[in-house]
Amino acid sequence: MFLDLGNLPPDVWGRSQVKKRILIGPDSRGEMLITDSITTCLSPPVYDLVCKVGFEAKESHDINSIVSQYGEVCWKTIAKYMCYADSGQNVDYLKSVSLLGPVCEAVHTHICSLSKAQFDVQYALWFQWTNFSELFPEIFVALKSSQPAAVPLSLMKLTSCLERALGNVFLLIGKECPFLLRDLLVSKELAEVFGQSVMNILRVFIGSPCGLNLRNILWHGFASPQEIPPKYCSMLVLLTAGLGQLLKIYLQRTNFKFIHRPFLTFTQLKELIIFPDINDEVLSVVEELIKKSTFVLKIMIPFWEAVIMKFRSHRYADCIILLLTQLETGLRKVFTTVNKCPKRFLTAESTAFYTTFDEILAKQLSDDEINHLPLFLGEPAMEFLWDFLNHQEGPRVRDRLSHGEINVNDFPKEVTNQLLAFSIVLLLRFVEEDVLSVSKENASIKILIDCANCYCSQFHPVSQLKKKILYCEESITIWPQLPLVPVEQIQEATRLGSNSEANDCYHLIMKISSELQHYVPQVDCNLSNLLDNPPTAKWSLLLHELCSKRIRTLYCPRSVLEVLVILQKISAHCHLVSDQIIATTEIRFKQWTQKTLRSRQRQNYLRMLNSIKLLSPVLQLLLLLITLELVNIHIVNEKNACEYQQYLKFLKSVLQYTENLVTYSNQEKNKWDESINITHLVLVKIWAFTDKKQMLMHLAKKSPNKIIL
């Protein structure tokens, strides 16, 4: 099948930017091969603005009028070349780029004429405000480099560094830093520190879709290596130094203390590791794949080559920055092909949104049509992309790197390895059959393919809930190893434990567990024995078996996500209760043996020991209950509005119980009689709701003793 682009209006593609036909026919594996002859991913107006307009004016400028011999930036001189619309407030970006072009040329010539020592003497001091001063000597070297990807990579790192630093400046005055660079640059807070004319100059280069917009066209993978004029990188280096000078003046005038926000770190590296380490043999295969896979645009090959080079030299942040841009470019190409919307492949104009990861990975297109990319890529690939890029609990690698939240000097190899491994598998989906067959002969490549095909989400709320359940289960199983009450006090403990309300609780637990019996996967599993104190090994195995069930995670409806949030909070509170009881028991037993407990404290300690005899099966019951609801989570969509609200109300009452239990079991409170009281109340509610057969497990359209998946 061919996608005919011949009838597109000339202003969409223009200048022979793409062949008029793109082959998207399925190959013998049922996959899709895409061939093209794309020469730019920039739309004609954006291409002209970035690659031409700044070169139209040929006048030369005396560098001494722009920057002094001591590296002091003359903002007034630069501001003279800014143009505004009739009102005098709105920037005329086209004319400003045209007039600033020769200024940038003069700055670039000046910086390239310096030795490294001269560059450091003149500017090193003024980069310290960025909290990443070591970046700028690297950029200085890159400006003189012959490597095609050197300047674009430097610009990406510079814009993220600058955004983070400007956010720190914003917080000198403001309270909540804007998430988007374009919003940050138009803030009154930054204008107060640096001046409005300075912020307007910055917006010509970054932050405004009407300007050069260097940050976005690079970070979203639209610009190829040859399309970024190095002089704009040099200009941003100088402007960064100039901002440091203005900031110093402002701080001296106000006596404010400038504080750098700490960098974020990845805290869940073990959960990210799915693929094995990539070795040199695999990298050699990749070097050939990037020339043969139609996922890679020919104009972007230098970026892919730099990816391999950076990985080999252990520059993992550089590697992943370049890789992310090319993943977005390649996926945008597939997205626009399978959805038959070729004009969305290019950069949009200032009046429209770019097609970025957000749109590429969405369920629907902007016109509410179904996005066909998820069906084409398959769930494992989509889940991987959502895990690494979108889920709030995940690493959100691109967001954090592009906004300068991560220390690139200490970027973990594990994260880069996983994304590169995934990308290799993606490249293989767009090669000819013979190339694929040869690649599969490599055992390491075969392992990568198998890992990719088996991938399931690690950071979706469903996955996060499973982990919370198992963490809580692990905590509860520690209870049997807790220090026992001294033998001579057993009689007193038994007397204190004779409580009719506690007996009622045990009776309700038996009734509820008998009802749940019909919805556990093992027919011969007796819940009355499972929910014992101490917890049995079978109870743990049951939870692990339930949590191993695969549950759909892509594009969960709002109702599903709302329920998941409540279930997560319940499990988290149960875990906290368990941890508090463990900590309190260990402390009190030590105090008991050391005879440092007062009489009242001893009585309270004994009440606690009796209370936890009840709380153990209660927490086990709650964990089993929410796990059974989890595996049937999608059934919630079958409830009508009234039933759904009643279900939420029930879950929130259980949540309220766990919140109160956290408070009562706190070492400072020790309200154990009250704990039994609220436990009785919540068990009554659970039984009443269970008896109505309105739990998700009841509504699952499966025969008894089966779990809906």
Per-residue pLDDT tens over the stretch 50-76: 999 999 988 889 999 999 988 999 999
Structure tokens at 134: 């070591």
Rounded Cα gap, residues 349 and 347, in angstroms? 7
| CA-closest candidate to residue 254, choices 178, 169, 188, 187 | 169
Structure tokens at 282: 């695999």
pLDDT for residue 493 is more than 60:
no
- Of 453, 487, 514, the domain-final residue: 453
Note whether 529 and 431 are same-domain residues: no
Note whether 536 and 433 are same-domain residues: no
Q: What is the pLDDT of residue 88?
A: 67
Q: What is the pLDDT of residue 232?
A: 98
pLDDT grade, residue 30 (50/70/90)?
A: very low
Note whether 397 and 335 are same-domain residues: yes
**660 falls within a domain:** yes
Q: What is the pLDDT of residue 376?
A: 95
**704 falls within a domain:** no
pLDDT grade, residue 489 (50/70/90)?
A: low
pLDDT grade, residue 18 (50/70/90)?
A: very low
Q: What is the pLDDT of residue 611?
A: 84
Q: What is the pLDDT of residue 64?
A: 93
Rounded Cα gap, residues 338 and 547, in angstroms? 35
Note whether 358 and 498 are same-domain residues: no
Note whether 232 and 270 are same-domain residues: no
**29 falls within a domain:** no
- Average model confidence (pLDDT) across the chain: 88
pLDDT for residue 626 is more than 90:
yes
| CA-closest candidate to residue 387, choices 232, 257, 542, 554 | 554
**Residue 210 CA to chain centroid, in angstroms?**
28
What average pLDDT does this structure show over 84-106? 91
| CA-closest candidate to residue 98, choices 143, 40, 59 | 59
Note whether 622 and 500 are same-domain residues: yes
What average pLDDT does this structure show over 569-576? 97
**705 falls within a domain:** no
Contacts with 25 (C-beta within 8 Å, 6 or more apart), sequence order = 1, 2, 32, 33
What average pLDDT does this structure show over 243-257? 96
- Of 232, 254, 276, the domain-final residue: 254
**66 falls within a domain:** yes
Is the Cβ–Cβ distance between 329 and 356 less than 8 Å?
no
pLDDT for residue 28 is more than 50:
no
Assign 136 to helix, strand or coil: helix
Note whether 375 and 482 are same-domain residues: no
Total H helices, total E strands in the chain: 33, 2
pLDDT grade, residue 498 (50/70/90)?
A: low
pLDDT grade, residue 703 (50/70/90)?
A: very low
Is the Cβ–Cβ distance between 676 and 611 less than 8 Å?
yes
Note whether 315 and 250 are same-domain residues: no
CA distances from 271 to 294, 467, 498, 554 (A): 31, 11, 46, 19
Rounded Cα gap, residues 339 and 92, in angstroms? 36
Is the Cβ–Cβ distance between 626 and 567 less than 8 Å?
yes
**664 falls within a domain:** yes
Note whether 88 and 220 are same-domain residues: yes
pLDDT grade, residue 354 (50/70/90)?
A: confident
What average pLDDT does this structure show over 269-281? 91
Contacts with 218 (C-beta within 8 Å, 6 or more apart), sequence order = 152, 155, 156, 159, 228, 325
- Of 254, 287, 309, the domain-final residue: 254
Q: How many domains does the chain have?
A: 3
pLDDT for residue 128 is more than 50:
yes
Report the share of the chain in percent with pLDDT over 70: 89
Is the Cβ–Cβ distance between 419 and 324 less than 8 Å?
yes
Is the Cβ–Cβ distance between 107 and 229 less than 8 Å?
no
**10 falls within a domain:** no
**377 falls within a domain:** yes
Note whether 533 and 670 are same-domain residues: yes
Per the structure, the complete domain to which residue 381 belongs is given by: 266-453
Contacts with 269 (C-beta within 8 Å, 6 or more apart), sequence order = 412, 414, 415
Structure tokens at 8: 């597109």
Note whether 304 and 229 are same-domain residues: no
Note whether 449 and 544 are same-domain residues: no
pLDDT digits (tens, 9 = 90+) for 365-402: 988 899 999 999 999 999 999 999 999 999 999 999 99
